[in-house]
Structure 1
């Protein structure tokens, strides 16, 4: 007797494109293996994802502007009320569709709602958020760094970080208690990564880790590219100079883009850049070619070097193609990825708060002059989808 395919619902917290993109990439991989897939996500990025191979159902997420403002101020991202509302929304979907398995990307409420309906739940995250990560924590761009300077702010951050991580866990634990569940350890990292299965979207040797429990699993980078048309200038780009791809993404410091492009326009380079609909450029330059969006995989392949915000999806896209990458991070997620990248000797960082024409010009010239192929593309940056199907099939 033939059994019906397992049904997996993905919940994407679409505060940034990356969380949605990873869900779509994994969902596509499972569809090819004949699993039944549904995506629950806000529609704000639908114009970029194109036609999907599976149904999408509406799911409310806080606005990207609200999320970015909380990040910029170093404040907890969600209140207990928002998380409780999320749980209620999750529950309606889970009770209606009754999936066999849940996969979420930064939908923190699923750690509560999945337990209430007793459905196995896996979260997609990065290993540098793990409580088992053996790393330091660079201070992101916060009011404190502007007030005290980076060096002093970092010392203060090191002292108060455990308290900050505790404060950022309070809303979630309050929501747990409301639904009659035990609170987690008072640590933001526990809240960000708690699930029946914690899936790290990184190469296994990229982030130094302490010994892991068996339900914490490295699946490799989850790569994805926007469904964006290629601009008219794509096929006629000059090929006699190094090509730099500049993308600050949906969560980078978009205010820096005009300065970066003006700086690069003065160098013997060809520059391709995306605005992500976040920046209006008042000036144009003969060697700078701009689009609202580009397919990341094709842009990275064409480039000799990439300048990005340090987010893990773009960083891993660059490493998979063995391209030099200069990161200009602003939030903690980007700083964590960038610090891991620098420690691995695979890229360089300029803090968003310190970025200026001089240090950008120096970094670009140095990285282009010293670029050496590492040759670790391929399997190291491949998705181990079999590790996920093994979990699903065990249900």
Structure 2
């Protein structure tokens, strides 16, 4: 009997749309019908026309980024209530045998109220079972005011309380439904009948996790598109190349500064703006486009500069290239902390990024072979942990279980 899967992407960033799109494309169409729900915010990552498509509203990405940038909870109680109602209507209409959500946090209530098994996709650095690592603050106004070195210390002390405060809105709704509250943001972000970590264990280890928490490997997505007309010119350039993209959530105002630092260090620059700004450099060693096939761009580069998020960072590591992350939000900082600890890259917060610090970081990656060696080692590990194989196996396991009671 064919089963029906519903993939739900929270369209506040490209990564949360790309990952479920990749997983939906990995399942056996002879065994499953596919439904896909999102807001259509990122047409560069369009779902297959063969899928059953459902429109689903999300908050505006600019609102999402503004709240992240100020260290505020990303959803209000009213927004979460509207999300839950919309999710329940979607589930009742689509009638899936299983729903797979990427950062659609309202599904943790909606799916259980309807009685549909929920698989939640997240990064392992959010796991309640993640092994301890030194935390660094995101790029929020108070960090710039006090200095990042000082605020990092304050942030580590304040994080447990701050984490709980980010759960206040969802906990109020859970209480109304008679569901126990979350005690941390980690529990909130990693809740589901099965939780799928889009990571490899050696990069982001966990300890004591239950069998319902499983690694599926980094999900690497790159837009299926033609290479731009200037591609061969860029490839024939004798200078080492750097691929620069700040994605859908990075500090795009820093792009000119980053390009200038790269040129000063002798790099040619391949730039993707993710459609967020017009960037027209007249320099003969700078080539730019709104979007690029990211894996191909990383492959012809010596290193990749990105916002530090897992989407582009994993593109880079998938082809064995070290990463320089210019991080804004906490998710990006957590991703790059693990990559830095592994020796495959380094990072700066956007608010502490200066031309001098950029050039120092670029010079270190370019001159110290260990960065490339560690990136190549992670490339080999990533190749052995393929989501296209792991996800269908875990899906079969999931569909053999009854949905758990809400936690």
The TM-score range, normalised by the shorter chain, is: over 0.9
Please name the residue that 2:20 is paired with.
Answer: 23
CA contact (8 A) 2:308 2:326 kept: yes
Tell me which of 396, 403, 407 is aligned to 1:390: 396
CA contact (8 A) 1:260 1:357 kept: yes
Tell me which of 200, 219, 224 is aligned to 2:221: 224
| Residue aligned with 2:100, SS | strand
Please name the residue that 2:332 is paired with.
Answer: 334
Distance 2:51 2:36 in 1: 7
Please name the residue that 2:361 is paired with.
Answer: 363
Cα 1:258/1:31, change in 2 over 3 Å = farther
Please name the residue that 2:198 is paired with.
Answer: 201
- 1:41 equivalent to 2:28? Answer no
Deviation at 1:116, TM superposition (A): 0.5
List alignment gaps of at least 5 residues for structure 2: 402-407
Number of residue pairs matched? 391
Distance 1:181 1:224 in 2: 39
Q: How do residues 136-151 of structure 1 correspond to structure 2 at under 5 angstroms?
A: 136-151=134-149
After TM superposition, the score normalised by the length of structure 2 is 0.92
CA contact (8 A) 1:31 1:53 kept: no
List alignment gaps of at least 5 residues for structure 1: none
After TM superposition, the score normalised by the length of structure 1 is 0.94
Please name the residue that 2:80 is paired with.
Answer: 83
Tell me which of 53, 74, 94 is aligned to 1:56: 53
| Residue aligned with 1:128, SS | helix
CA contact (8 A) 1:15 1:63 kept: yes
Distance 1:242 1:356 in 2: 22
Cα RMSD (Å): 1.7
Structure 1 runs of 4+ aligned residues shifted over 6 Å read: none
Distance 1:39 1:51 in 2: 9
Cα 1:51/1:100, change in 2 over 3 Å = closer
Distance 2:157 2:254 in 1: 30
- Identify which range, 55-64 or 184-193, moves more after superposition: 184-193
Distance 2:9 2:311 in 1: 15
- 1:214 equivalent to 2:216? Answer no
Deviation at 1:283, TM superposition (A): 3.9
Please name the residue that 2:169 is paired with.
Answer: 171
Q: How do residues 288-367 of structure 1 correspond to structure 2 at under 5 angstroms?
A: 288-367=286-365
Cα 1:52/1:261, change in 2 over 3 Å = farther
Distance 1:296 1:98 in 2: 35
Please name the residue that 1:246 is paired with.
Answer: 244
